[in-house]
Amino acid sequence: MLIENGLLVYLVGRRAQLNTCLAGRQGAVDYRLMTTYTVYVLKSINFDRYYTGMTADLERRLAEHNSGKTKSTKAYKPWKIVYKESFSSRSEARAHEKYLKSGSGREWIKKKMAS
């Protein structure tokens, strides 16, 4: 766990690393190992609304939310990131996103935002 730009950030799972031995070719890079998936929680600046999602490119995804390209968040823009957590696999990230969208996950978010 670390604080980055005032946000609580968790790093989970194995860290993505360069693989210099892909398919027996020395010096080749396996870019799949470098992909990290981020589960994030946004808070509307003007409304008391939260949105939880998952992406491989958080900056692009936040821009989409704030430009109105996402139907479910369009009416409550602008948004700011209040929580993010990085995972080394899509399945880990999806499982955590599903948890945060559950009743107990929403309660956990409320507690984190209150502290």
Residue with token string 């998936």: 37
Tokens, residue 96: 């955590």
Angle of CA points 89, 98, 15, to nearest 5°:
20
pTM confidence score: 0.72
Closest CA to 87 of 47, 46, 40: 40
pLDDT confidence band for 2 (50 / 70 / 90):
very low
Q: Classify 2-114 by CATH class.
A: alpha beta
Structure confidence at residue 115 (pLDDT): 84
Over range 2-21, report the average pLDDT. Answer: 45
Residue ranges per domain, the chain?
Answer: 2-114
Q: What's the pLDDT tens digit per position in 22-73?
A: 344 555 555 555 789 999 999 999 999 999 999 999 999 999 999 999 999 9
Q: What's the pLDDT tens digit per position in 4-13?
A: 555 555 555 4
